């Protein structure tokens, strides 16, 4: 069965549709759903300590490179300071006009360890200044070295295999090195021309 709308009914339907359209003009739909902000982490491909520094404060590229190579590490800074103090790559410090000496007590302390004396005397034995090691040889060793420690011709700083020492040398070139730390004798020599040059004393003999 077909339903026929009267002309009046059709006009009313069109009027209602137009009214609905006018009422909805200017309406903006809002999305009230909660939004989650996702923050993407930066991937700097660097160690954590360097990444943190880059993300939190500006660092020059040169400084980053130095950090990556370990040039600014605490260990390396200490080593550079020690090298500078001990004259690595430079001539050792020398006292010429007023050479530093040891007091009588410190000189005896330096020669107070028999094992150290035995070890330190070997170069003098090789040079023919001492005989084979014995109690008598140790006394002879002390008689040679103690006056040099108390009244050297020259004295100087020296780094012996990484250990800070002071060197004391006589006018006859007999040399004693004493450890700064323990105060004990380190070694002795009859200085060669090469050693005198190494110590900065080549023009003094």
pLDDT (tens digit per residue) in 1-54 = 555 555 555 566 566 655 555 555 555 555 566 555 455 555 555 555 555 544
**For range 88-92, the mean pLDDT:** 51
Least-confidence region, from 61-70, 125-134, 153-162, 196-205: 61-70
53, exposed or middle or buried, with CB in 10 Å at 0-12, 13-18, 19+?
A: middle
Please tell me the predicted confidence (pLDDT) of residue 100: 86
Residue 119 has pLDDT above 50, yes or no: yes
DSSP-based three-state secondary structure for 156 = strand
- Strand order, beta sheet including 185-190: 94-95, 154-160, 163-169, 174-179, 185-190
The class (CATH top level) of 94-198 is alpha beta
Q: Of residues 199 and 98, which shows the higher confidence score?
A: 199
Q: CB within 8 A of 51, min separation 6: which ones?
A: 42, 44
**For range 62-90, the mean pLDDT:** 53
CB-based contact 138:114 (threshold 8 Å)? yes
Residue 141 has pLDDT above 80, yes or no: yes
Task: For the chain, give the percent of residues with pLDDT over 70.
Answer: 52
User: Strands, DSSP E only, in 94-200?
Assistant: 94-95, 154-160, 163-169, 174-179, 185-190
Paired strand residues for 164? 159
CB-based contact 110:186 (threshold 8 Å)? no
Q: What is the mean pLDDT of the chain?
A: 76
Token duo for residue 32:
């009230």
Q: Of residues 87 and 158, which shows the higher confidence score?
A: 158
Q: How many other C-beta atoms lie within 10 A of the C-beta of residue 168?
A: 28
pLDDT, tens digit, 9 for 90 and up, residues 144-182? 999 999 999 999 999 999 999 999 999 999 999 999 999
Q: What is the largest CA-CA distance in the chain?
A: 145
Cα 124 versus chain centre, distance: 37
- Provide the residue ranges of all domains of the chain, joining segments of one domain with +: 48-86, 94-198
Please tell me the predicted confidence (pLDDT) of residue 164: 93
């Amino acid at each position: 069965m077909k339903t026929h709308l009267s002309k009046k009914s059709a006009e009313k339907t069109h009027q209602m549709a137009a009214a609905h359209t006018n009422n909805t003009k200017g309406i903006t739909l809002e999305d009230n759903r909660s939004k989650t902000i996702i923050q993407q982490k930066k991937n700097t491909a660097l160690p954590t300590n360097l990444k943190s520094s880059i993300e939190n404060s500006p660092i020059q590229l040169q400084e980053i490179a130095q950090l990556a190579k370990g040039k600014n590490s605490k260990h390396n800074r200490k080593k550079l300071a020690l090298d500078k103090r001990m004259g690595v790559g430079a001539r050792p410090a020398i006292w010429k006009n007023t050479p530093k000496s040891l007091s009588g007590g410190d000189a005896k302390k330096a020669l107070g360890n028999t094992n150290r004396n035995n070890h330190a005397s070997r170069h003098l034995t090789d040079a023919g200044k001492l005989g084979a090691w014995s109690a008598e040889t140790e006394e002879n060793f002390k008689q040679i070295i103690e006056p040099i420690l108390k009244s050297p011709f020259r004295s100087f700083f020296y780094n012996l295999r990484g250990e800070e020492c002071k060197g004391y040398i006589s006018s006859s070139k007999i040399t004693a090195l004493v450890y700064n730390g323990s105060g004990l004798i380190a070694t002795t020599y009859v200085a060669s021309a090469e050693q005198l040059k190494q110590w900065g004393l080549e023009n003094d003999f």
